[in-house]
């Protein structure tokens, strides 16, 4: 049975569209699994997702916001695996719940940035002419902006909070996607099959969304995975400065910031959430490198 399934997936002559799509996905998965670094990245990201989903269960019923001033700044022990912070909150539970905040930010930024970049890039690339010139000039202008400082200024003006941090990061993160989508679109638009559907009477919208956007997706996704680490680090930086998720919610950057004053005596308060940020960005970096090798062998 499994042998048949593998054969069906690896078939050189897929009989249906579904078989072709699933077969490609299967080959990509194999390529990642046989690349140790990418596999490690995939595992880290999977663990992050599981942590976020099952945070309350994994924390064993310990609340991430419950204060216990009697046992504040306690070192790691059997009772508090990662110790407690300056308000006696359990750092293990807070680190687990912090995965939720990080994942939320990453997902929201992706949901905003990828469609905006794709839309700008494909429009510019397919329509060409002055639309192309204007859109790409705007993209270049945004590309030359200092990312963190602008995000800071935006977050400061809009007020602190996750939503505003997401808006601030997204505003400075979309241009590379527009660039990628445009260069892909320019190549695709010259292909014969696009000419064929246009001659069959397909509208511009149909060509863009049914034929061009799906082909741009893979490079945009690869780039998105590579960017995740940067997004996480920027979000953590905003959190560290107090402009991200607000207390008492557990955000890794803010947790590091809370441990600043006691770094010399109670190292665990700042160190452990920092390690969490590091491992997660490392995971996305490894996975992104692996995906790039799979989807775009030229650049490796």
Partner 1 sequence: MQDGERTSVVRGALQRIGSFLVTLALTFLGLTAVTFLISRLTKIDPVLAIVGDKASNEVYQRTFVALGLDQPVIVQYGAYLKRLLSGDFGVSVLTAQPVLSDLVRVFPATFELATIATIIGVLVGVPAGVIAGARKGRWPDHLVRVVGLFGYSVPVFWLGLVGLFVFYGKLGWVSGTGRLDIFYEDIVTPHTGVILIDSAVAGEWQIFGNAFGHLILPAGILGYYSLAYVARMTRSFMIDQLSQEYVTAARIKGRSFWGAVWLHAFPNILVPLITVIGLSYASLLEGAVLTETVFAWPGLGLYITRALFNSDMNAVLGGTVLVGAVFIGVNLFCDLLYKVFDPRLRNA
Contacting residues for 248 by C-beta, under 8 A, at least 6 apart: 65
Nearer to partner 1, 64 or 273 (CB): 273
What are the φ and ψ backbone dihedral angles of 87, each rounded to 5 degrees? Answer: -110, 15
Burial class (CB in 10 A: 0-12, 13-18, 19+), 134: exposed
Kindly state whether residue 146 participates in binding partner 1, applying the rule CB under 8 A. yes
- Determine the Cα–Cα distance for residues 157 and 145; give it in Å rounded to an integer: 17
Kindly state whether residue 206 participates in binding partner 1, applying the rule CB under 8 A. no
Kindly state whether residue 236 participates in binding partner 1, applying the rule CB under 8 A. yes
| Cα 131 to Cα 127, 135, 137, 214, 252, distances in angstroms | 7, 6, 10, 22, 42
| Stretch near partner 1 under the rule CB under 8 A, chosen from 12-20, 25-33, 45-53, 266-274 | 266-274
- Coil, strand or helix: which one is 193? helix
Kindly state whether residue 149 participates in binding partner 1, applying the rule CB under 8 A. yes
Kindly state whether residue 237 participates in binding partner 1, applying the rule CB under 8 A. yes
Nearer to partner 1, 83 or 194 (CB): 83
Best CA proximity match to 141, nearest among 113, 163, 171, 112: 171
Nearer to partner 1, 102 or 122 (CB): 102
| Cα 54 to Cα 57, 82, 97, 277, distances in angstroms | 5, 18, 9, 18
Interface residue with partner 1, options 140, 196, 206, 210 (CB under 8 A): 140
Interface residue with partner 1, options 52, 89, 240, 244 (CB under 8 A): 240
Kindly state whether residue 153 participates in binding partner 1, applying the rule CB under 8 A. yes
- Determine the Cα–Cα distance for residues 111 and 83; give it in Å rounded to an integer: 35
Nearer to partner 1, 58 or 158 (CB): 158
State the nearest-atom distance from the C-beta of 34 to partner 1, in Å.
Answer: 18
- Coil, strand or helix: which one is 90? strand
Of residues 120-139, those binding partner 1 (CB under 8 A):
137-138
Of residues 69-108, those binding partner 1 (CB under 8 A):
none
The first and second tokens of residue 19, run together, are 């078989």
Write out the residues near partner 1 by the rule CB under 8 A: 137-138, 140-142, 144-150, 152-154, 156-159, 229, 233, 236-237, 240-243, 253, 256-257, 259-260, 263-264, 267, 270-271, 274, 277-278, 281-282, 285-286
């Amino acid at each position: 049975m499994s042998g048949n399934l593998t054969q069906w997936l690896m078939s050189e002559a897929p009989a249906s569209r579904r078989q072709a799509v699933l077969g490609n996905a299967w080959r990509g998965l194999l390529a990642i699994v046989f690349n140790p670094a990418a596999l490690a990245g995939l595992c880290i990201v999977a663990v992050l997702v599981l942590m976020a989903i099952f945070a309350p269960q994994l924390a064993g019923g310990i609340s991430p916001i419950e204060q216990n001033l009697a046992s504040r700044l306690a070192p790691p022990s059997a009772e508090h695996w990662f110790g407690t912070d300056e308000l006696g909150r359990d750092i293990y539970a807070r680190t687990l719940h912090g995965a939720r905040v990080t994942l939320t930010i990453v997902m929201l930024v992706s949901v905003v940035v990828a469609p905006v970049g794709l839309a700008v890039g494909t429009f510019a690339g397919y329509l060409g002419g002055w639309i192309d010139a204007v859109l790409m000039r705007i993209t270049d202008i945004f590309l030359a902006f200092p990312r963190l400082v602008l995000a800071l200024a935006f977050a400061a003006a809009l007020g602190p909070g996750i939503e505003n941090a997401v808006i601030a990061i997204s505003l400075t993160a979309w241009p590379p996607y527009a660039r990628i989508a445009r260069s892909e679109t320019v190549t695709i638009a010259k292909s014969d099959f696009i000419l064929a559907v246009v001659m069959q009477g397909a509208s511009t919208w149909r060509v863009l969304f049914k034929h061009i956007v799906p082909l741009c997706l893979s490079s945009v996704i690869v780039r998105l995975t590579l960017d995740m680490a940067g997004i996480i680090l920027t979000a953590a930086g905003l959190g560290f400065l107090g402009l991200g998720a607000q207390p008492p919610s557990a955000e890794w950057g803010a947790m590091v910031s809370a441990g600043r004053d006691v770094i010399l005596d109670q190292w665990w308060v700042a160190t452990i959430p920092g390690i969490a940020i590091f491992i997660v960005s490392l995971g996305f970096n490894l996975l992104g490198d692996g995906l790039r090798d799979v989807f775009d062998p030229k650049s490796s």
